[in-house]
Amino acid sequence: MKLPNNAHVAIVDGEKFTVMRNGGQMFEPKLEDAQHPDLSATNFSAGVKHQDDIGQRHGRTDLNELAHGAAAAEWLNAKAIAGEISDVLVIADPKTLGEMRRHYHSELEKKLVGEIDKTMTGEPVDRIEKAIAEA
């Protein structure tokens, strides 16, 4: 995958959110400047979609995790609208990525350079860089 120099990389799951920048070349990403923005998971709009009590009891739907994904999307939206980010790659597990997509603002969508639907939170930086290069 082409990842422009200075592009932001958002690595998200239902509990963690890390934002890094690409200090490397387009086909040889070198992630640096890790930040862990403090999110306030207040958007539980997924609850309308996931009212299946059986699914919640069997652990298939965790509204707190989905709200965290929505909060990450809202944080990225605010940065995109303010012009603080220009290129963004989102790496998230499939469930979180699906929830994030529901909350993307049009300004963020214009700045997306790609998405990777894979759980990468907690992985070493070199494995994340390899996943980006191979995508």
Residue the block writes with tokens 């214009």: 110
pLDDT in tens, the chain (135 residues): 999 999 999 999 989 999 999 999 999 999 999 999 988 766 556 544 444 555 555 555 577 788 889 999 999 999 999 999 999 999 999 999 999 999 999 999 999 999 999 999 999 999 999 999 999
Tokens of 51: 């009212």
Domain count, the chain: 1
pLDDT on residue 51:
46
End-to-end CA distance of the chain: 5
Report yes or no on 83 lying in a domain. Answer: yes
Report yes or no on 87 lying in a domain. Answer: yes
Report yes or no on 69 lying in a domain. Answer: yes
Q: Determine the length of the chain.
A: 135
Parallel/antiparallel/unpaired status of strands 88-92 and 112-117:
parallel
Distances (CA, A) of 43 to 67, 70, 75, 76, 109: 5, 6, 12, 14, 20
Report yes or no on 2 lying in a domain. Answer: no
| CATH assignment of the domain containing 35 | 3.30.420
Report yes or no on 3 lying in a domain. Answer: no
pLDDT on residue 46:
53
> Which residues constitute the domain of residue 85?
8-134
Report yes or no on 63 lying in a domain. Answer: yes
User: pTM for the full model?
Assistant: 0.85
Q: What is the DSSP letter of 55?
A: H
pLDDT in tens, 80-101: 999 999 999 999 999 999 999 9
Report yes or no on 58 lying in a domain. Answer: yes
Sign of CA dihedral 11, 76, 104, 17: positive
User: Per-residue DSSP letters for 56-97?
Assistant: HHTTS--HHHHHHHHHHHHHHHHHHHTTS-S-EEEEE-HHHH
